Amino acid sequence: MSEPEPLGWSRDDLATRAALDVPDGAYVNLGIGIPMLIASHIPDDREVWFHTENGVLGLGGVPEADEIDLDMQNAGKEYSKIVVGAAAFDSALSFAIVRGGHLDIAVLGGMQVTATGDLANWSVPGRTPGVGGAMDLVTGSKQVWVLMEHTDRTGTPKLMRHCTLPVTGTRCVSRVYTTLGVFQPAGTHFECIDLAPGVDRETVRGLTDAEVTFHDDARDGH
Amino acid sequence: MINKVRADALEMLSIVPDGASITIGGFGLTGVPIMLCDALCELDRKDLHIVSNNAGIDPTGVGRLVGEGRLRKFTGSFPSNKDFFTLFHRGRVELELVPQGTLAERMRAGGAGIPAFYTPTSAGTDLATGSYPARYDGNGQVTAWLPAKDVRVFGGTACVLETALATDFALVKSHRADRLGNLAFRLASRNFNVPAAMAGRVTFCESQSIVEVGEIEPDDVHLPGIFVQHVIQSRPGSFDAPNRGAAS
């Protein structure tokens, strides 16, 4: 299926941009979808440990066909590798890591985020039910980042004054990376701290439901 | 002498009645006691309350129990199975949707003698405010909602009261087991199997191998045998699942 060239960052660019902000030594949980792409974009000089809520700290990349271990999947139910030094544990301990505030960053996908940091990403009425670990991850992690398209498929904004979809957690999001830029929920508005190449402030304002202010670093069309 | 090793899965599971509550370990395709789920189907057990993270992501394991219409209620975090979706919306099965970490802790608490606990997870969401459907009628109308949870504030954080999950039985899968029921797991297939085994008043384990007592070093026992009542050799093939790839 071919799609028109999207405005701003591609999914891979978005993951690359977020990966730049993951500090050396961080323990990170990556949600299913775009967040998972971050793992392959961490700069080489940083040691970052990935947690998967089904019970491993030290998640690795995608195995070749002959490397598949039937006992090793990630939370997206894909077969995965582990890295040397990995630890395995049960789900209760895994969520003690999550809920107990031991993860530095949880990166999740999002449907809507508000300027107060509320996140909706788990439920669309009428669709398949399922919450997984999303509500635990947003509750416990030191920082919660959301990676998502700036608008939904119909062009409707996802950075909102109020969530119209059921929330996953309130006042939990510290940063949002969208295809158009990087945004911090600032209570009454989002502060844009970086713009994707070729994206200008007016475009962002037009595609954002909430108020947006722009940090000096977020320059038009750089 | 204690010997929890059983030879026949149907005979072993024949003590599970219709209507039983059963916690089942596994996450996605790893650590799922597929053979034991098959045995429940072959025994034609019905009206079960199944507690498990997933409702199956293919027609094996919990997915087979769901697909054959053997559930009256499902408690779990991610019932993304299409059969489940259909049955739920036609009013054929009740759903208790639980955040994944809360689910694991409720199982653990059930086995640990803790009747209830407070957690910040889900506070302020539809799962805590009585705003999520638990049951539909045959016409797609909601007839029951998840109950609103008690809320208390600790250190400025709103927390909800969650009750322990203890079930009549548990089905789990291990990598190694001995006749005492000591279990060892591999990698991500440990997942819910430990808290599930704790939650079951009677726990059955199918194991990829059954080893002599002492072969699992004391420090390598992930779940002590005191939590396990029955052990059986997993059927060859039931753990050689082909790469069925990713699902939701």
Q: In what order do the strands lie in the sheet with A27-30?
A: A82-88, A56-59, A49-52, A27-30, A105-109, A143-148, A175-178, A181-185, A190-195, A212-214
Q: Hey, which residues does B21 pair with through a beta bridge? A: B49
- Cβ burial of A154 (10 Å; 0-12, 13-18, 19+) is exposed
- For residue B122, what pLDDT is reported? 97
Contacts across the A-B interface (CB distance below 8 Å): 163
- For residue B5, what pLDDT is reported? 98
Are B30 and A72 in contact (CB < 8 Å)? yes
- For residue B247, what pLDDT is reported? 35
Residue of A111, A91, A215, A222 lying closest to A169 (CA atoms): A111
Per this entry, what is the length of chain B?
A: 248
Of the residues A77, A84, A94, A167, the best mutation for testing chain B's interface (the one with the most B CB atoms within 10 Å of its CB) is A77
Q: Please tell me the distance from the alpha carbon of residue A86 to that of residue B114, in angstroms, as a whole number.
A: 31
A166 touches chain B (CB under 8 A): yes
State how far residue B98 is from chain A, nearest Cα, in angstroms: 7
Q: Please tell me the distance from the alpha carbon of residue B192 to that of residue B108, in angstroms, as a whole number.
A: 10
- Cβ burial of B227 (10 Å; 0-12, 13-18, 19+) is buried
- For residue A221, what pLDDT is reported? 59
Contacts of B195 in chain A (CB under 8 A): 90-92
Contacts of A76 in chain B (CB under 8 A): 246
Q: Please tell me the distance from the alpha carbon of residue B213 to that of residue B234, in angstroms, as a whole number.
A: 18
Are B30 and A54 in contact (CB < 8 Å)? yes
Residue of A222, A108, A104, A221 lying closest to A158 (CA atoms): A108
Residues of A with catalytic function: 53
Phi-psi label, residue A35: left if phi above 0, alpha if psi -120 to 50, beta otherwise: alpha
Q: Amino acid letter at A150?
A: H
- For residue A218, what pLDDT is reported? 81
Q: What is the DSSP letter of A105?
A: E
* pTM score, whole prediction: 0.94
- For residue A5, what pLDDT is reported? 62
φ, ψ (nearest 5 deg) of residue B162: -120, 140
Which two tokens mark B146? 């998840």
Task: Extract the residue ranges of chain B whose pLDDT is less than 70.
Answer: 236-248
**Which residues lie below 8 Å from residue A172, measured CB to CB, with a gap of 6+?**
A117, A118, A119, A138, A139, A144
Q: What is the H or E stretch that residue B230 is in?
A: strand B230-233
In tens digits, what is the pLDDT along chain A, a chain of 222 residues? 455 567 899 999 999 999 999 999 999 999 988 899 999 999 999 999 999 999 999 999 899 999 999 999 999 888 999 999 999 999 999 999 999 999 999 999 999 999 999 999 998 877 778 899 999 999 989 999 999 999 999 999 999 999 999 999 999 999 999 999 999 999 999 999 999 999 999 999 999 999 999 998 887 755
Q: Please tell me the distance from the alpha carbon of residue A188 to that of residue B88, in angstroms, as a whole number.
A: 40
* b/e per residue A110-140 (b: at least 16 CB within 10 A): bbbbbbbbbbbbbbeeeebbbbbbbbbbbbb
Radius of gyration of chain A (CA): 17
- For residue A127, what pLDDT is reported? 77
A3 three-class SS: coil
Of the residues B75, B78, B146, the best mutation for testing chain A's interface (the one with the most A CB atoms within 10 Å of its CB) is B78
Q: What is the H or E stretch that residue B9 is in?
A: helix B9-13
Q: Hey, which residues does B50 pair with through a beta bridge? A: B22, B74
- For residue A126, what pLDDT is reported? 74
Closest chain A CA to residue B28: A77
- For residue B133, what pLDDT is reported? 94
Contacts of A75 in chain B (CB under 8 A): 27
Per this entry, what is the length of chain A?
A: 222
Q: Identify the CATH assignment for B5-115+164-233 out of 3.40.50.300, 3.30.1330.10, 3.30.200.20, 3.40.1080.10.
A: 3.40.1080.10
Which two tokens mark B43? 């025994």
- For residue A11, what pLDDT is reported? 93
CB A73 within 8 A of CB A67: no
- Structural domain spans, chain B: 5-115+164-233
